[in-house]
Structure 1
C-alpha cells in the first residue's frame, strides 16, 4: 500500500476501557470516571424534551448548514451567522483549520503540553509542529512562542484554559501577544472550557474576534453543556476566514440529534450558569483539600485540576482505580508525577482527597 509518509509520525487514538469493563475486571460495584473532563452534573433537561418532540427522521440527511443552531448561537454571541463554522465536536474544526492552512514546508506554533490534536493534525498534513514548553507555573511561554514564528508559520495555537494545566491567558496577555503576530498567521484560541471560567481578566470570544482579523475562537458543547456524546463544536471568526475554511468541511458533518440537543442546551443558560457556579465551588474545595496534603496544584479555571502527587502517575492512577475512581495519569500528558482530575460532585471530590491521602500515607510508610 502507498501510505502517506505522515502516517509514520502519528499514532491512532487509543480509547481506554469503558467503566463497565473495568467494573467487571476489578469486581467493583461503582466506578466514577473523572478522567475526560465531562460534566458530572449531566445536561439540561430541555435536551430530552427537544429530542422527544423532534420531527426529524433518521432517513433524512441533517441540515448541512445547521441553520437553526447557527441563528441562536450567532444571536447569543452578537456575531453574524456567517462568522460561524460547525463541526463534529471542536476536534473536527481543528482538523478543518489545519487542512486549510498546513502542508509540507509550513509550520505551526503551539504550547506543550496542550491538547494533543493540534500536533496530531499538523503532522498528518505534513507540516512541522513547533512545540514551546509551558512555563513552570503551567502558563504559555508567550515570548518563546513569538520567537518560534517565521515566514512559514500558518497557525499559532492558544489553549485557554489550557488542557492539561487549566491556566488561562488573560485579555492583556493575549493582546500583547497579538501585537507581534503577523496578520497572515491564523491564531486559534481554543476555549473549550470557556463556560467554566470565573476570572474577570479572561478574554471574551466576541470581543476577541471583533478586535483581530486573524483570530478564530473554538467552542464546544461537550464540556459545560454536558453533550460530549452528541459531538457538536464550532469556530467563530471573521466572515472571510470562515469562507476560506468552509470548502474543507464535510457536507453533513453535524448529525441531526446533535443539532437538536445543542439548540435546546444553548437556550438553557440557567443550567450552564449553575454548572459554572457548582464547578467553581467544588474546584476550590478540591484544590484546597489537595493542597492541605502538601501537594502542588496548578492554578485552573477549567473543570479539572492538575496535581503533582510526587510519584509515578501510573502508580497513583492504579491505586485510585482500585478504589473506584478513574483519573488521567500524567505520563501521557507530559507531567509524569501528576494526575489530572476532573472536578466531580461533592461526595466524589471528598473521596478523591481521602484516597490520595491514604496513598501518600502508604507510600511514606513503605
Structure 2
C-alpha cells in the first residue's frame, strides 16, 4: 500500500442500517440463515480458546466443492472485501492503471487508489468490449457479476471470451462473484485460467454479514502469491466453521435462489409503477426515480420504518435508489413504504 495514497484516501459509503428499529433494505443480505448455525457457532466459540488451524482444510474443501475447484485453490479471507484487497495489493503498483466498471462497488476504486494506482473507468455494461489497446495498458481488469448496484449477471460465454482476451493482453483479471451464489451460474473459477482471481463472499447468501467469511480462488503464480500474502489465521474459528457448514447446505441454497427469483420478479413489477427498474439477477433492484428527489424518496421510506440505499453514492448514478430483495412479508412492507403496495398482486 502506498503511504501517500493512504494519507490522501477516504472511506466509501455502504449500505447497512444501524437503527435496529428500521427494516433494513439498504444492505443486500439474506434475511435467513441456515438452520443449525447457532450450534456450529457455539461449538466453534468453545474451540476459539486456541488459535485456528491455519490450514483450514474443512473450509477449503467446502468452498472448493461449492465453486467446483480443488480445495487447494481456495484462499480463506475475512470476507470478500479482504480477498479484493489482497488481489489488488498483489497486482498493482504506484502509477499503474486498473480497468474498473462503473457504476459498481465503490471499494474497487478506493483499493486501487490506496495502492497509488489509477482507476480507468468503463461503463459496467461495456467492460467486456474494452479495446485491446486499453486492456494492454492496464495492470488489472475488474468485473463484477452480478454487478452491484445494477444487478445484471455477465453471460458466462461472454465472460469466457473476455478471459481469453485478458490472457492475450497480459492483463490479470479480478472477477467479483459476491452475489453469484444467488444464481445457479457457474463460477469463473472453473475456467482454468492462471491470470484470473475470483473472489467470493459467504455472508450475503447465508445472512451472516457480521461473520466476515469469504475466499479467493486462483491458480499457479497468483495462488502461491495470495497464499503467501494472506495473514496468518485469516479466518477466526467461528467464521471458518460456520462458513464450511453453510456452504454445504444445498437445500437452503436452492430455496433461497427460488425465493429471490420469484420475489424479485414480483417486486420489479410493482416498483415499475413508480420507477424505472434495472433488470437484475441479484438479490437487489436498482431504481431510477427520475425527476423525483432521491433524498425525499429515501426519507419518506424511512419515516415509514424502512431503510433503502441512496444509490447516488455510486459513480454515474444521480437519480437512483437500490432496494434489497428479501422474503414476501418484508418485501410487502418495503412496497408499502414506497407507496406501490396497491400494485402488489396478493394471494386470495
Q: How does the TM-score come out when normalised to structure 2?
A: 0.89
> Do structure 1's residue 4 and structure 2's residue 21 form an aligned pair?
no
5+ residue gaps in structure 1?
A: 24-30, 360-366
Deviation at 1:110, TM superposition (A): 1.1
SS at 1:129 equivalent: strand
Choose the corresponding residue for 2:248, options 255, 267, 274: 267
5+ residue gaps in structure 2?
A: 342-348
Choose the corresponding residue for 1:192, options 178, 188, 211: 178
**Rounded Cα–Cα distance in structure 2 between residues aligned with 1:68 and 1:170:** 31
Match in the other structure for 1:111? 101
Count of equivalent residues:
337
Match in the other structure for 2:123? 133
SS at 1:179 equivalent: helix
Deviation at 1:146, TM superposition (A): 4.8
**Rounded Cα–Cα distance in structure 1 between residues aligned with 2:223 and 2:145:** 21
**Rounded Cα–Cα distance in structure 1 between residues aligned with 2:86 and 2:163:** 23
Contact 1:329–1:338, Cα closer than 8 Å, also in 2: yes
Deviation at 1:319, TM superposition (A): 0.9
Residues 145, 284 of structure 1: CA spacing in aligned structure 2 closer, same or farther, 3 A cutoff?
farther
Match in the other structure for 2:144? 159
Deviates more, 1:333-342 or 1:238-247: 238-247
Q: Where does 1:202-217 land on structure 2 (aligned, <5 Å)?
A: 202-208=185-191, 210=192, 212-217=193-198
**Rounded Cα–Cα distance in structure 1 between residues aligned with 2:294 and 2:132:** 32
Q: How does the TM-score come out when normalised to structure 1?
A: 0.85
Contact 2:274–2:340, Cα closer than 8 Å, also in 1: no
Match in the other structure for 1:233? 214
Match in the other structure for 1:46? 36
Residues 295, 55 of structure 1: CA spacing in aligned structure 2 closer, same or farther, 3 A cutoff?
closer
Residues 140, 37 of structure 1: CA spacing in aligned structure 2 closer, same or farther, 3 A cutoff?
farther
> Do structure 1's residue 305 and structure 2's residue 247 form an aligned pair?
no
> Alignment RMSD, CA only?
2.3
SS at 2:165 equivalent: coil
Deviation at 1:262, TM superposition (A): 0.6
> Do structure 1's residue 351 and structure 2's residue 333 form an aligned pair?
yes
Residues 260, 194 of structure 1: CA spacing in aligned structure 2 closer, same or farther, 3 A cutoff?
same
Match in the other structure for 2:69? 79
Deviation at 1:170, TM superposition (A): 0.3
Match in the other structure for 1:27? none
Contact 2:45–2:237, Cα closer than 8 Å, also in 1: no
Contact 2:12–2:107, Cα closer than 8 Å, also in 1: no
Match in the other structure for 1:340? 322
Match in the other structure for 1:58? 48
- 1:148-174 deviation line (CA, Å, top 9, x unaligned): 3234x2211000000000011101221
Deviates more, 1:142-151 or 1:248-257: 142-151
Choose the corresponding residue for 1:142, options 117, 120, 128: 128
Residues 4, 345 of structure 1: CA spacing in aligned structure 2 closer, same or farther, 3 A cutoff?
same
